[in-house]
Amino acid sequence: MKLIINKIGKIKSAQIDVNGLTVIAGKNDTGKSTVGKLLYAIFRALDMGESFFNEMKKQILISNDILPLCRKYIGLSEGNKELRERIAWLLDENSSLLTRKLNRLENLSLPEIYELIQNIQKDMPSDAIDSIATIYKNISNIQHASLEEKMSYALERTLAVMFNGIVLNSKYHEDGKIVVNQNEKCVLEAIISEKYINTKYDSFLRKSLVGNIVYLESPFILENIRTRLKPHWEELKAVLFEKALPQDWQQESVNEELLNFIQTEIFGKAHISFEPRIKDFVYQVDGNATKLNMSNVACGVKSFAILFLLLKLNILKKDVLLAIDEPENHLHPEWQIKYAQLICLLVQKGFSIVLTSHSPTFIQALAHYINKGKLDEKVSFYLASQVELENYSEIQNVTKDLEKIYANLIAPTDRLYEFTEEEE
């Protein structure tokens, strides 16, 4: 798969191969993290585009049209008593864990909503005819939307959430473009402006891509935070906790060799488990120690614990793309090297990984284990660097010249040594 990016966020241009291991290095604020966010938004839109469109449009329809009509109907002095009682039941609200008010109307399918409107229409006064006609039209628009319309909507919404509403460059406001190719054929093309997104989409070629994505942005996802999270955090936490049932926890993982590596090289005598009593993951430094909530565990341990859980619960599989943003941030150099070794073991087993980094230690370790495992054909290195005098960066393939990465990342340390020598 090839991801082509033009004028999205900080990235002016990039052509990135996603196959095996893809490493994007560079300084801060050069657009590296944009790649992971884009991949997550694209794969979620590709995976859920149609159902997402239907559900979101239905929620808008209910909120803007159906709820006001139902409330108006049960407020009539006359009407079908049985229908009024049913509508009152449908309007009953309960607060969700995220404090949003939910009602039973949201459980109705579009055909069921259509039937409800037909029954309401029989008793409504003539001045409501126009509003009811608009509702029928809105239902029809949802049912007959094209696949491209649904994909455009899903991609627009997921991009907006991932980038907090600002997808294009914050200074130039130029139209952007995203293209996903597989074997030189276009799976998805999206033209993005500040007002709209237009997409071309090939549903048949979509099947040739990896199935889904896991996007790891921070080890803090393992902390049992009760407030509203980022969408990719919410999704991953939901999957982790859903899978952490006794029967799933005890079942044999297909990733035993990888799990043994983490257990031996990182955890040692310690182990991680799921505690049903508190419905949370816990960590013990040995069998006699107190079980620690993940909030009390070091960030570095959490970094490995996430991968351990994804592998143990068979969430991370070979048909799932793993995207990781700067994993070295919470790791001592010794564990950066261990993390690089684990990444290369994953690639050796056939996993697909995209990661960003600004650590020369981590990247040198990756290069070492890539060479040791003879994985060169499965790996691509890229360098994100600022375009001179512009608020843009470019991402270039430097697989055959890693010295460009080292020069970019080690230069500040070299200058520090020069300053020290001058002072002496």
Integer Cα distance of 151 and 45 in angstroms? 7
On the question of pLDDT at 308 being above 90, the answer is: yes
Lowest mean pLDDT among 57-71, 223-237, 349-363: 223-237
Bridge-based pairing of strands 292-293 and 280-284 is antiparallel
Task: Kindly tell me if the per-residue pLDDT of 219 is higher than 60.
Answer: yes
Q: What is the pLDDT of residues 175-196, one digit of tens each?
A: 999 999 999 999 999 999 988 8
Confidence of residue 287 (pLDDT cuts 50, 70, 90): confident
| pTM, two decimal places | 0.86
> What is residue 315's three-state secondary structure?
coil
Residue 279 per-residue DSSP state:
T
* Rounded Cα–Cα distance for residues 314 and 254 (Å): 7
Q: Which of the four pLDDT bands, split at 50, 70 and 90, describes residue 420?
A: low
Backbone angles phi, psi at 349, to 5 degrees: -85, -5
Mean pLDDT of 81-110: 73
What is the band of 364 on the pLDDT scale with cuts at 50, 70, 90?
Answer: very high
User: Do 255 and 312 meet the contact criterion of CB atoms below 8 Å apart?
Assistant: yes
- Band (80; pLDDT cuts 50, 70, 90): confident
CB 36 within 8 A of CB 217: yes
Q: What is the average pLDDT across 310-314? A: 90
For residue 138, pLDDT over 60 is answered with yes
pLDDT value, residue 418: 63
Q: How many residues does the chain have?
A: 424
As given in the structure block, the two tokens for residue 323 are 């995207």
Which of 12, 5, 57, 7 is CA-nearest to residue 35? 5
CA–CA separation, 152 and 195 (whole Å):
12
User: Rounded mean pLDDT of 131-153?
Assistant: 91
Give pLDDT, residue 226.
52
Provide the edge-to-edge strand list for the sheet that holds 11-17.
Answer: 197-201, 185-192, 176-182, 2-8, 11-17, 393-397, 379-386, 21-26, 352-357, 320-325, 212-216
Q: How confident is the model at residue 128 (pLDDT cuts 50, 70, 90)?
A: confident
